[in-house]
Amino acid sequence: MQISQVNLRLMILSATMLLGLLALTFKLGFEQIQRHLVYDKQISNQSIRLIRSPALRGRILTADYKILADNQPNYEVCLYLAEMRLPGNRNRTLDHIEHVINTIALQIGRENLTKRADIIRHMNTQPGLPFTAFFDLDEREIARVNEIAMNFKSISIVPQTARVYPYGSLAAHIVGYARLRDPSRAYDRKDFFYYISDYSGVSGLEKAYDNIPSSNPGDLREIRGLCGIPGFQIAQVDNRGFVDQLLPGGEQPLNGNSIVTTIDFHAQDLAESLLNGLKGAFVLLNADTGAVIAMASAPTFNLSDFSPRPNNPAIRALFKDKNSPQLNRALQSAYMPGSIIKPLIALAVLKDGVSPSATSTCTGRFEIGNSAIRCTGIHGDADLRYALERSCNSYFVDFGLKLGFNKIRSIMEDAGLGRSTGIELSEASGQLPDKAYHRSAFGSKWTEFSTGLVSIGQGVVLTTPLQAALYAAALGNGGKLMQPYLVQEIRDKDGLRLYNAIPTVKSIMPVTQQQLDIVKEGMRRVVSAPRGSGREANVDGIEVYGKTGSAEVGPRHNRHKNTWFICHFRHHGHSYAAAIIIEHGESGGSTCAPLIASFISRWLDLKTSSQY
């Protein structure tokens, strides 16, 4: 009886085990036969990675096709860390990697800037990609590294592209600079397992045309920008995440478009050379189109300090410099205009029905209540043309008071002052005469003395050099305030023109040609008359219509003059306008006028020579 019970239990146990084995066998068979396609797909997905392929950035060129921003091969020393693993703990591998990098540095004569933390970070975040140890190798260094690579596995020289600026500081404020995009902040970072970064614009045209959005249908900004569209490669990786092989498929990147600016290379070079050692700005426009031919700001900086590899000490020094070399004074600084505002006041006087022969007696100062505004001399009975020629403060204060605040503000607004011009780069808007602003800024109400000051470009009125040049252009082209622009064309990688700028009239000053001609005659005498305030701007064979200016700025104990000259002139059927400001100058006539004369004569000589 006991034996039978034991046998029964054994039989039940055996049957249970057999059923379990049968169930397990069935399940394994089902997984292998029925589900293997699903698992194969999952395994395949786990081993496939997308590698981002950056597009080649477009160029930036001058109007005469000198290259201001370009790409060049950049040879890098890369280490494949997966092949450098040594048995034992991780520190042993790290020691070996550092030894290899130190050996390369010694052989090519470079400082080893790689930190152990950089290697660890790369191993943790990008284990499948090569680690870059050195950049920008020359031919000698490439030969040395190739010799070292014979003794150490896992060393490779990899060609990349780097953003370069062939002319360094030339047009630096216009071109701006680009730097490698931070992958952690990139909009498409999540689209790729391995992210190879490209360059992103930081300032200037590099930023303005980096990746042009398409928010305004029909606008220029529908066109793809400098940065292009990235592609991708499909890679198969091993179980450690290292790239095993590249697979067919993927997409080629779509390279960025190139920008042809309106900048004339020789004009820009001359403008910057004239400002060398000074603090100020210069703008030259095509007065009929609004195209910027030259735009210089001083002091300036070297774009090569930012790319292909940042020169960090130079960059730190740049942004600590109290003279603000990175500031584009032509666009981003607003100055009191001083006497360059007087042609506008003269137009307002004529619009008000005053005869150009009407005079004001200048005794060297103009009394307003208990205060007085000094003049530049004693001019006696001065009419409008003579007042412009000699820059007589008394005349313009006298007639400015008769005009009143509203008419003065109106003519300045008509000339485009106090508002942004709409040029492609960041700019200041300036400041129109404003009673509310005067009260908030100075804590006092507007008075007749305030009106007298703005009549000669002092007090509450600010303009940028670009605005001044546009206003000078309007005086010369019949009163048309043009839309300024820096980009003439956009072309694709094959040279196909995608965009061509069309000159645009923003507004027309509400003045007659007769009124403009009267003012222009006064401006001609500024330069051509023997005692004209801008006689130092006289150029043989060229009729220059100009106006000097200076404005006292700063606290009473530390005042200085910002000096101006604006003008327009014609040459071979083309009309040009210019504005120059020099901070801490002596006067518009002695500081700025000679610089304008030098620029015009040298530039026009170049235009008519074989160098153009």
What's the confidence (pLDDT) of residue 126? Answer: 72
Do residues 308 and 500 touch, judged by C-beta distance below 8 A? no
What's the confidence (pLDDT) of residue 216? Answer: 43
Q: What is the pLDDT of residues 444-453, one digit of tens each?
A: 999 999 999 9
Q: Which of 256, 285, 316 is the last residue of a domain?
A: 256
- Kindly state whether residues 122 and 214 are assigned to the same domain: yes
Q: Is the pLDDT of residue 267 over 70?
A: yes
- Kindly state whether residues 276 and 229 are assigned to the same domain: no
Q: Name 504's Cβ contacts closer than 8 Å, sequence gap at least 6.
A: 290, 482, 483
Q: What is the pLDDT of residues 39-50, one digit of tens each?
A: 454 444 457 778
Q: What mean pLDDT is predicted for residues 388-413? A: 98
Residue 249 lies in a domain: yes
Rounded percentage of the chain residues whose pLDDT exceeds 90: 66
Rg (C-alpha) for the chain, rounded Å, is: 35
What's the confidence (pLDDT) of residue 45? Answer: 47
- Kindly state whether residues 176 and 288 are assigned to the same domain: no
DSSP 116-152: HHHHHHHHHH-TTSPEEEE----HHHHHHHHHHHTTS
Gap between the Cα atoms of 280 and 137, Å rounded:
38
Residue 40 lies in a domain: no
Q: What mean pLDDT is predicted for residues 517-538? A: 97
Residue 112 lies in a domain: yes
Q: What mean pLDDT is predicted for residues 391-420? A: 97
Which amino acid does the sequence have at 553?
A: V
Do residues 152 and 96 touch, judged by C-beta distance below 8 A? no
- Kindly state whether residues 136 and 10 are assigned to the same domain: no
- Kindly state whether residues 352 and 220 are assigned to the same domain: no
Looking up residue 120, the CATH number of its domain turns out to be 3.90.1310.10
More confident residue, 461 or 218: 461
Q: Is the pLDDT of residue 408 over 90?
A: yes
Q: What is the pLDDT of residues 489-499, one digit of tens each?
A: 999 988 999 99
What's the confidence (pLDDT) of residue 457? Answer: 97
Q: Are strands 292-298 and 280-286 parallel, antiparallel or unpaired?
A: antiparallel
Domain with 143 in it: 49-256
- Kindly state whether residues 363 and 468 are assigned to the same domain: yes
- Kindly state whether residues 557 and 592 are assigned to the same domain: yes
Among 30-34, 212-216, 237-241, 458-462, top mean pLDDT goes to 458-462
- Give me the phi and psi of 508, to 5 degrees please: -125, 125
What's the confidence (pLDDT) of residue 219? Answer: 46
- Kindly state whether residues 460 and 570 are assigned to the same domain: yes
**Positive or negative, the Cα torsion across 268, 272, 274, 280?**
positive
Q: How confident is the model at residue 215 (pLDDT cuts 50, 70, 90)?
A: very low
The packing angle between helices 36-47 and 2-33, to 10°, is 50
What's the confidence (pLDDT) of residue 541? Answer: 94
What's the confidence (pLDDT) of residue 29? Answer: 64
Q: What is the pLDDT of residues 550-584, one digit of tens each?
A: 998 988 888 899 999 999 999 999 999 999 999 99
**Positive or negative, the Cα torsion across 603, 608, 611, 612?**
positive
- Kindly state whether residues 209 and 277 are assigned to the same domain: no
What's the confidence (pLDDT) of residue 433? Answer: 97
Gap between the Cα atoms of 560 and 211, Å rounded:
42
Q: Which of 228, 256, 284 is the last residue of a domain?
A: 256
The pTM of the whole model exceeds 0.95: no
- Kindly state whether residues 53 and 92 are assigned to the same domain: yes
Residue 383 lies in a domain: yes
Residue 275 burial by Cβ neighbours in a 10 Å radius (0-12, 13-18, 19+): buried
Q: Is the pLDDT of residue 521 over 80?
A: yes
Looking up residue 421, the CATH number of its domain turns out to be 3.40.710.10
Q: Name 38's Cβ contacts closer than 8 Å, sequence gap at least 6.
A: none
Q: What mean pLDDT is predicted for residues 578-596? A: 97
- Kindly state whether residues 161 and 280 are assigned to the same domain: no
What's the confidence (pLDDT) of residue 248? Answer: 83
What's the confidence (pLDDT) of residue 165? Answer: 97
Q: What is the pLDDT of residues 422-477, one digit of tens each?
A: 999 999 999 999 999 999 988 999 999 999 999 999 999 999 999 999 999 999 99
Domain count, the chain: 3
Residue 324 lies in a domain: no
Gap between the Cα atoms of 334 and 463, Å rounded:
5
Which amino acid does the sequence have at 442?
A: F
DSSP 495-540: --EEEE----EEEE-S--HHHHHHHHHHHHHHHHSTT-TTGGG-BT
Rounded percentage of the chain residues whose pLDDT exceeds 70: 89
Q: Is the pLDDT of residue 538 over 90?
A: yes
Least confident of 60-64, 334-338, 494-498: 494-498
What's the confidence (pLDDT) of residue 39? Answer: 47
Residue 456 lies in a domain: yes
Which amino acid does the sequence have at 90?
A: R
Q: Which of 205, 235, 256 is the last residue of a domain?
A: 256
Q: What mean pLDDT is predicted for residues 406-434? A: 97
Measured CA distances, 66 to 62, 465, 515 (Å): 5, 25, 42
Q: Is the pLDDT of residue 548 over 70?
A: yes
Mean pLDDT of the chain: 89
- Give me the phi and psi of 565, to 5 degrees please: -155, 130
- Kindly state whether residues 346 and 495 are assigned to the same domain: yes
Q: How confident is the model at residue 148 (pLDDT cuts 50, 70, 90)?
A: confident
Least confident of 165-174, 311-320, 366-375, 382-391: 311-320
Residue 44 lies in a domain: no
More confident residue, 183 or 263: 263
Residue 319 lies in a domain: no
Angle at 447 between CA 442 and CA 452, to 5 degrees: 105
Q: Name 158's Cβ contacts closer than 8 Å, sequence gap at least 6.
A: 75, 76, 77, 78, 130, 132
